[in-house]
Amino acid sequence: MPTRLTLLGWKLQDTPTVRRRILIVSLLLLALLVLLEWLLKADFSLGILYTFPVAVAALVLTRRQVLAMAVLCAIVRGQFTPYLSTRESVLRFAMATIAYAAAGLLVVEVSNNRRQLVEHFARLDLEQRLRRKAEDQLRILVESSPAAILTIEADGTVAAANRAAHEMFGCSPGALLGAAVEPYFPVFVSALALPADRPVRSSVSGWGRRSDGQMFPVQAWFSTYGAGSEHALAAILVDMSEEVRERERENFRQLVDHHRLLAGAVSHEIRNLCSAASVVCANLAKSRDLSDSPDFDALRRLVAGLTRIASIELRREPGRPPETDLKTVVDQLLVVVEPDWSEIDGRVIVQVPADAPAVVADPQALMQIFLNLTQNSCRAVAGETTRELRITAEVRAEQAVVRFEDSGRGVADQTHLFQPFREEADGTGLGLYVSRALARSFGGDLVHVPTSQGCRFDVLLPLGAAST
């Protein structure tokens, strides 16, 4: 920022053009004095007036240049003081040079000090404007933030709260200021009770209370600062009610789907037993001794009724599943399963391109399918020398094929691989059965592909509308 020069009370901008003009004025003053000396031819000297050109020039000259200007003025003055001896001329020249240089250097120092002072005030004014601008931006950010922002004093009272905080706790504007925070979220009081010499920066999940007594889930991020009476806490809070409701709805939906699949598996087994019982009843009905027996007739009715009950299919709610980004689901899968594979010193190799097409599948159901296959592979390779799972994806015949291929020993008996409640299974034997049922529920499939080494499963998924 240009600073200002002052010439006889006039404030001038410190620019090269102004500097040249001041220097010209100084030379004109010197020329005017020379002209007066020549015209007057007086016996007295005008030497004291030569300080004015030096003082004016000192506004724009350096110290060395001021000394040179002083020497020049002393030489010019000496031309108009005749009839002096050499000694007197030298002394007059020295005294004049010292006087002119002192006046010029004084002006230089005053001008430099003033320039530094003006620059300092200019920087100070700029910093104040920037600080006010930052404060305004921060105030707008805090007031417009959808998250509640609080500042709490050492005694547990609210020092500052934005609009979202008042809305979250059901208070009228300004009602939180000076109020105790403990009735609304007591965790902050416990954080303020910790030693002030150990600042706390953490996040916490808990339950808050509105002004009407209603409880609601809260996620908070806070930090403490200051010491003694300056000890305080700053926090950002988010109302998690909607997220909790959505999570519980999704958990309930998944629970219903699992129960539906489990009931379907049980019904499948009961139908097989009923079919066998029906065949036995049909063979026994050929015997005349039993054909007229009321007990045998009741047994046939029981088998028929049980067959009808087991034949009821539990359907999913109608509607086309949403389109899901395959790459995103695989990336989320890698985050979930990496710790398990790290424990067995194994690795998961993902070769899914970033531009993988969108597929028609429920993202949670697809994640469950991938998790089942990944966990099965993790258990299969745990005792092997090479512990590796390779996940690849490709588009084939208007379908996306996600391949899971591990380095385990493979599947010995593939006949009952997808049958529920298999005796040789590690758990209930429902993992592959449920995974295939989920894949088929949105138009895909899960198949086992025999390989000479290891085990391979392919998840077939229909492509989204844009990809198709």
Give the model's pLDDT for residue 408: 84
Q: Mean of the pLDDT values across residues 289-297? A: 64
Give the model's pLDDT for residue 117: 85
118 Rama class: left (phi>0) / alpha (psi -120 to 50) / beta: alpha
Residue 3 has pLDDT above 50, yes or no: no
Give the model's pLDDT for residue 193: 84
d(CA 162, CA 178): 13
Question: To which CATH superfamily is domain 148-239 assigned?
Answer: PAS domain (3.30.450.20)
| The domain over range 323-462 is classified in CATH as 3.40.50.1110 | no
> What's the chain's average pLDDT?
79
Give the model's pLDDT for residue 112: 80
Q: Mean of the pLDDT values across residues 72-91? A: 74
Give the model's pLDDT for residue 1: 39
Which residues, 6+ apart, have CB-to-CB distance to 313 below 8 Å? 264, 267
pLDDT in tens, 359-408: 888 888 888 888 888 888 888 888 888 889 999 998 887 788 999 999 88
Report, in angstroms and rounded to the nearest whole number, the Rg of the chain calculated over CA atoms: 47
pLDDT in tens, 400-447: 899 999 988 877 666 667 666 555 555 555 678 778 888 888 888 988
d(CA 145, CA 132): 20
Q: Of the candidates 109, 193, 101, which has an alpha carbon nearest to the alpha carbon of residue 152?
A: 193
Q: Mean of the pLDDT values across residues 270-292? A: 67
- Higher pLDDT, residue 390 or 58: 390
Per-domain residue ranges of the chain: 4-127, 148-239, 245-310, 323-462
Residue 316 has pLDDT above 60, yes or no: no
Give the model's pLDDT for residue 75: 79
Give the model's pLDDT for residue 118: 80
Give the model's pLDDT for residue 237: 92
Give the model's pLDDT for residue 113: 83
Of 140-154, 302-316, 444-458, minimum mean pLDDT range: 302-316
